[in-house]
Amino acid sequence: MVKDMKTYIDEAESALLHTYNRYQVVLDKGDGVYLYDMNGKRYLDFVAGIAVFALGYGNTEYNDALKEQIDKIIHTSNYYYNIPAIEAAKKLKEASGMARVFFTNSGAEAMEGAIKAARKYAYNKDGKTDHEIIAMNHSFHGRTMGALAVTGNPHYREAFEPLIGNIRFADLNDLESVKAQITDKTCAIIFETVQGEGGIYPATQEFMEGVRAICDEKDILMILDEVQCGMGRTGYMYAWQKYGVKPDIMTTAKALGCGVPVGAFLLNEKAGSSSLAAGDHGTTYGGNPLACAAVCKVFELFEKNHILENVKEVSAYLEKRLDELAKECADIKCRRGAGLMQGLEFYKPVGDIIIKAMDAGLILINAGSHIIRFVPPLVIGKQDVDDMIAILKKCL
């Protein structure tokens, strides 16, 4: 029996834990920058699975690489070496200039590892376990207990406290607020190079350099969350590279695997050689051959298809069109962002606009109640931007 979309949605609501307020559509397949529901309706995708599907849908070379690896081996555990993990780690090191790589299954797990590495680094220095971490208000680092503890939104945290302790919060782009939180127990300062869920706020050059200087002076580790803003999203492989300010530890995920669940945290030589050792951290699936084969192919296709160059060209056009729209529409307060990670802030909630857009064949998401977020596949062209603007205008 062929089921209709409502039947599938009803079955989902009766079987899945209700932790998401899902849009009332069952997506079935994708092609390029378009998604299709099970009824065949086409949607222009400006979400990319929340900044994941950088290469677009149905990339033959990517799909074939995964099929080839599936026919070889999918999983072995980290008691043994595997070639895709070795090659993927080399590509990550080359792209980032970092020294050591630990593969995870998600961005939240990468943040958990980064926190542990920072605390172990401090513990190795003085043997104490009362070290503190400074994170940013309005930040988002994940839903696991450690990542949640450094997420700067009390609403996300309050029902699950007590979380890991000794976390202090400052404000992004307010260096004095960071200095005010520093004590002799501070072991790390954590923030997103471009805040995502908190409203698409890029760090300023002054803030990046200021935090780096503080960390160098006091031997504090600088941790940058590049889960959403990394992997070419801003026109640089990692957003911090635009600033010329290198972290001690960084996290990456989302577009790292372009659909296959994989993340990583990376450490420079100082942090990598003086923190986590054998037995301190582990994962069953992290670094498995299938996920790492995806990572290898993603880096290969980024270079082959000149993804960073495309982002820089198309993002300038996207900014221009969004700025024009902001001037035309009295409900829009401002645009901000970096590369193909943009936000339009409205004077009113945007939920209804996003639903209207979906009905009109355009997939968008929010970043807070008043902000529409634009994180499309990195392969979009100027015509896709024009098509998106045309649909969005009708919905406004």
Give percent helix, percent strand, percent coil of the chain, each to the nearest 5.
40, 20, 40
pLDDT digits 0-9 by tens, 174-222: 999 999 999 999 999 999 999 999 999 999 999 999 999 999 999 999 9
- Whole-number average pLDDT of the chain: 97
Strands 332-338 and 341-346 come out as antiparallel
The answer to whether 357 and 363 are in contact (CB under 8 A) is yes
Phi-psi region of 44 (alpha: psi -120 to 50; beta: other; left: phi over 0): beta
pLDDT of residue 1: 66
Is residue 320 scored above 80 in pLDDT?
A: yes
| Residue 202 in tokens | 């890029």
pLDDT digits 0-9 by tens, 242-286: 999 999 999 999 999 999 999 999 999 999 999 999 999 999 999
pLDDT digits 0-9 by tens, 263-273: 999 999 999 99
pTM of the entire structure?
0.96
Q: In sequence order, which ranges of the chain are alpha helices (DSSP H)? A: 5-15, 48-51, 60-72, 83-96, 107-126, 145-149, 154-157, 175-181, 205-218, 240-243, 269-273, 289-304, 307-328, 351-359, 382-395
Is residue 2 scored above 80 in pLDDT?
A: no
User: What is the arithmetic mean of pLDDT over 39-67?
Assistant: 98
User: What is the arithmetic mean of pLDDT over 32-36?
Assistant: 98
pLDDT digits 0-9 by tens, 81-139: 999 999 999 999 999 999 999 999 999 999 999 999 999 999 999 999 999 999 999 99
pLDDT of residue 9: 95
User: pLDDT-based confidence at 3, cuts 50/70/90?
Assistant: confident
**Domains of the chain with CATH codes:** 5-55+306-395 (3.90.1150.10), 61-304 (3.40.640.10)
| DSSP per-residue codes, 219-257 | TPEEEEE-TTTTTTTTSSSSTHHHHT---SEEEE-GGGT
